[in-house]
Structure 1
């Protein structure tokens, strides 16, 4: 059973790593692009300013005629290696051109020596700067920057391509790493889940990389092995103690039986007869405890299980209980779906359903009804319309020796439901108390 990705810390870490990579690439691109763009702007502005300063010096030393001649010459001799084509405009203060290759004054104030990005009438984008040279003379110097923009665009494309490759690589590494970690953690979780439910558990991976997760699995496996060993020792000890107690009790019962033969008690109500009844009750209790421990210890073990026709088995069991139900003044209702099968141990399933039927017959007053139903799943329901189980006792009815207030007057040790639950778990089933409008309703169904 794998962890849900939405709830898995491994996948949250992988997602966070991918988001950090995306954010880092985005910030790095933004910073790099802004730095290059600023450097390009500064270089462009410096080129225009230097060119403008040179022409201003020419006007100061040679006058307007020299300026017009040098502007005409400069368009032919200026270095175009940087790809920034020059444009010039010498005009009167009213905007009338008198020199240069431009014919319309852009929206830049010559009096304020304004500069900036403008668009020429032929839609060519340029960076320009204006200057006032005299009372009726102004000069504009401009440079095209299309190649600078193309360089920035290529830089952006290259950076975005590399960034996308980095993000994809990080995503692949994160997904592969997270998937591997998730599988290893799921293996540990499955082992722990199996151990918690009584099934064999294996946490260690012989081909693991030997990192912290492998160490966690190794230590967890050692812990589970130690726990299983302690449980096994406890079971062996309890079996041995039960056997050692059961044997002398049976010997004592034999001596009491011999004593009764030598000196019979009238009516069968004497001390020796009652003592034999107490001994048999204790032996039955020990047998039930041993059965509970045996079923709990064999949980998940398929040894001894075979394909059972559950429909036929419950049909035969219902027929056997008809006499007991009639003697108790009750009605037995059955609804057994045909063809229901399961993998199980016949006698243990009989004991499971018998315990539930015995409980119902024992506590339902005369005139009541006991129901036995079977459907595919398999799902077994044993219900009655008796007094039911008090709400405050429902949480502990499957515990050993647990008895509700209404059961104290009845004979027994409070082990029937505990044994029924252990048998159900041994077969991969769940025994639970279902809600019902009246009486008690016990459901046996597959584990989720």
Structure 2
């Protein structure tokens, strides 16, 4: 089934199949045309033979008499050629009584009109005949049996069948070779888009000789990917530099506030300094979250750094930690983990994804509420609660940067927690959605849907 799906999906395979079908249809059409031509030609030859034979008999009667015509009919019947259609004759009087010939009864043909048509002769065989009126009291019928062209038609059909099979095989082989070559060239481009590393870009550069449209597309794709990679690298370098330049002064300022807090005996001043430190740490966390989101988005689709991660063990470990916290906060925590669920990913990133979802749930579910973590094969990760939920008008924006649902969704109320979850999920070819639920919020993480 998967093989059939790949064939249906590949445009090159579809082109080959269409070429094979076209070759088969053309061969079949040519056979039908040839078969009809042979039958029509055979029929026309039979009609001409009857007309020529009848004309010769009429000439014999015109130059002689009835007796001579009867003798010539007898001679014709006695000397039937082996390679011609068997001929039959009937010379009859005005009432249809036989005078000469091998046919005993006059068929339903009008002699006065020289009518022609199919007749049945002895042995239930069919023949083509034409009648003519020689005199008021004498009429003549000449009939030739249908030549058996069945053997010829079968031979022609066999020739076309053999030729058609060979033509289809030739088209299939040639089309497969051409499609395989084109598919390989396109695959290099797709591989470079899926994983734009130096090796893939070098492969594009080697394959772009500029001979045809595919080579031109390969060259343009390689250049575009190289430029995008340079821009992404420059963007990451700039953001890292800006983050460092901002984070370092903030950390220094925080250290000064710590010293000021230690040296300040005034309680009101100390409280204000502590509030300032809280805001500074919040800014640092927000900055780190933005950098994490940018890093995850920039590495979307990049397979480097991914390794098999036992998601079941990871979820169980986190579930045990949150179970202890739930007892202290007065929440009920339900854990349903299917063992043996393994995914390709980064363990630290996946840990942040699960902890962000659980933190949001425990943050907004009041004491006495229920939070559940479920993991099934697929993988399918579900974090749900019975809290106040998310208003309908905010359900689409909670995954955006600085998006907020309810009071404050995200990292320390900055609205970055779920945006980071989405970036991490996309990095691992997963998608996170807010599923419909009768009460509370229900977040699901599952493989990306095929579009």
- 1:89 is matched with 90
SS of the residue corresponding to residue 111 of structure 1 reads: helix
Deviation at 1:249, TM superposition (A): 1.8
**C-alpha contact (below 8 Å) 2:335/2:372 kept by paired residues:** yes
- 1:120 is matched with 121
RMSD: 3.8
| Greater mean deviation of Cα atoms: 34-43 or 319-328 | 319-328
What is the CA deviation profile of residues 54-87 of structure 1, one whole-angstrom value per residue up to 9, with x for unaligned ones? 2222222322122222322344567x37522332
Q: How does 1:90-169 map to 2 (within 5 A)?
A: 90-147=91-148, 150-152=151-153, 154-169=155-170
- 2:443 is matched with 442
Distance 1:323 1:122, change over 3 A: closer
1 CA distance for matches of 2:398 and 2:152?
80
SS of the residue corresponding to residue 42 of structure 1 reads: helix
Deviation at 1:439, TM superposition (A): 0.8
**C-alpha contact (below 8 Å) 2:27/2:160 kept by paired residues:** no
2 CA distance for matches of 1:47 and 1:70?
17
Q: Pick the aligned partner of 1:40 from 39, 42, 46.
A: 42
TM-score, with structure 1 as normaliser: 0.82
2 CA distance for matches of 1:306 and 1:73?
99
- 1:70 is matched with 72
- 2:51 is matched with 49
| Greater mean deviation of Cα atoms: 174-183 or 8-17 | 174-183
1 CA distance for matches of 2:22 and 2:348?
62
| Greater mean deviation of Cα atoms: 156-165 or 390-399 | 156-165
In the alignment, structure 1 segments of 5+ residues that lack a partner are: none
Deviation at 1:359, TM superposition (A): 1.1
What is the CA deviation profile of residues 250-307 of structure 1, one whole-angstrom value per residue up to 9, with x for unaligned ones? 2222333334444444145655443333222211111112222334445544538575
2 CA distance for matches of 1:28 and 1:338?
63
1 CA distance for matches of 2:337 and 2:433?
20
Deviation at 1:238, TM superposition (A): 0.7
Q: Pick the aligned partner of 2:27 from 17, 25, 28.
A: 25
SS of the residue corresponding to residue 245 of structure 1 reads: helix
**C-alpha contact (below 8 Å) 1:106/1:120 kept by paired residues:** no
**C-alpha contact (below 8 Å) 1:310/1:342 kept by paired residues:** no
Distance 1:13 1:250, change over 3 A: same
SS of the residue corresponding to residue 434 of structure 2 reads: strand
Q: How does 1:297-446 map to 2 (within 5 A)?
A: 297-299=298-300, 300-301=302-303, 303=305, 305=307, 308=310, 310-311=312-313, 313-322=314-323, 324-336=325-337, 345-375=346-376, 379-407=380-408, 411-427=412-428, 429-446=430-447
**C-alpha contact (below 8 Å) 2:404/2:410 kept by paired residues:** no
2 CA distance for matches of 1:375 and 1:148?
71
| Greater mean deviation of Cα atoms: 224-233 or 291-300 | 291-300
**C-alpha contact (below 8 Å) 1:104/1:121 kept by paired residues:** no
Deviation at 1:137, TM superposition (A): 1.3
- 1:266 is matched with 267
SS of the residue corresponding to residue 333 of structure 2 reads: strand
SS of the residue corresponding to residue 438 of structure 1 reads: coil
2 CA distance for matches of 1:157 and 1:93?
50
2 CA distance for matches of 1:183 and 1:105?
76
Deviation at 1:388, TM superposition (A): 0.9
What is the CA deviation profile of residues 151-209 of structure 1, one whole-angstrom value per residue up to 9, with x for unaligned ones? 455445434543454345445555665566567656655664x369x9x9778496799
**C-alpha contact (below 8 Å) 1:125/1:144 kept by paired residues:** yes
Query: Paired residues, what number?
Result: 443
SS of the residue corresponding to residue 106 of structure 1 reads: coil
1 CA distance for matches of 2:254 and 2:60?
135
For the pair 1:278 / 2:276, whether they are aligned, the reply is: no
Q: How does 1:220-231 map to 2 (within 5 A)?
A: 220-231=221-232
SS of the residue corresponding to residue 334 of structure 1 reads: strand
Q: How does 1:111-260 map to 2 (within 5 A)?
A: 111-147=112-148, 150-152=151-153, 154-171=155-172, 173-174=174-175, 192=193, 194=194, 204=204, 211-260=212-261
SS of the residue corresponding to residue 146 of structure 1 reads: coil
